[in-house]
Chains A and B, each alone.
Chain A
Amino acid sequence: MIERLSHGPASVHGLTEPFALSQQMISKHIACLVRARIVIKTKRGRESVCTLRPEAIKTVSDWAISYRRFWEESFDKLEVVVNELKKQEMKKQQIKKEEVRDDK
């Protein structure tokens, strides 16, 4: 939804279309985004129009260090490091084996 809004303002109806969700669900979601001060909702005739609040993006760095997010994403990176370490260890063992063989 945010991605859609990043292209420009959209009506609630327009925001509902790409999702397999009822307009009621979408409205609820939008209400959350408005409460969280990410989206601004204005009336244009009978339609409600949603706009992305530009400052919302700035708060991302604050939010990104929520503890849960911090650990989940650190773990993702840790996995890469561990795999790399494992590869190095295996290589080292391989070299050792070859050395033993050469000594014989």
Chain B
Amino acid sequence: MTNNTVNEVERMRVTRVFDAPRELVWKAWTDSKYVMQWWGPKGFTAPVCKMDVRVGGKSLCCMKTPDGQEFWNAIEYHEIVLHEKIVSLMYFSDSQGNKIEPAELGIEHEAIEGAYDVTLFEDLGDGRTKLTHIGNEPMESAKNSGQLEGWNQILDKIADVVAELAQAK
């Protein structure tokens, strides 16, 4: 099919439609005060978020697992179109923002060489906003066979249990 062209890998893409204008979604995405409220998976907290969303800037966010482990991520910005688009590069880091290989943290992450994370804010025209995040990771590694499916089911269950535990405290 493709001989002399570079094979375009299907990338991880997460989309969500928000019932709010684009400026608001942008604010929630870029203002430290709000990022701290949503950064990280279910059950995680974000004790530190220092956002510096401008070309050449670097944001630093910490997420804390339910069992108290902390993971830091740094984000570098390469292109910003206000209320529309952010081209960035996110990586695991130490608390100072120095890059750490995911494997060192025991995290499997297959990154696409030379690719960036792209976040798009699309005005749907009816007061709603479509947010798309295209990650620097191939889709295949995310949906690798039935094993992931199994894991997801387990994780959903366990996440519920953890949530219950947290509530019971």
Contact = CB atoms under 8 A, between A and B. Distances in A.
A57 B66 CA distance: 12
Interface stretch (B23-31, B50-58, B81-89): B23-31
Q: Give the interface SS of chain B, mostly helix, strand, loop or mixed.
A: mixed
A82 B14 contact: no
Given A32-B147, A62-B107, A68-B14, A74 B41 contact: yes
Contact of A67 (B19, B44, B137): B137
A66 B137 CA distance: 10
Interface string A7-28: 0000000000000000000001
B80 interface: no
Contact of B142 (A1, A62, A68, A83): A68
B28 A70 contact: no
Q: Which of A56, A60, A65, A71 lies at the interface centre, i.e. has the most chain B CB atoms within 10 A of its CB?
A: A65
Contacts of A2: 153-154, 157-158
B131 interface: yes
B120 interface: no
B67 A67 contact: no
Interface stretch (B2-10, B32-40, B93-101): B32-40
Given A2-B158, A3-B157, A38-B154, A85 B135 contact: no
Interface of B: 12, 14, 16, 18-20, 24-25, 27-29, 34, 37-44, 63, 65-67, 69, 71, 106-109, 131, 133, 135, 137, 142, 146-147, 150-155, 157-159, 161
16 contacts: A2-B153, A6-B161, A32-B146, A33-B150, A36-B147, A36-B151, A56-B154, A57-B158, A61-B65, A61-B67, A62-B106, A64-B155, A65-B41, A74-B39, A83-B19, A85-B27
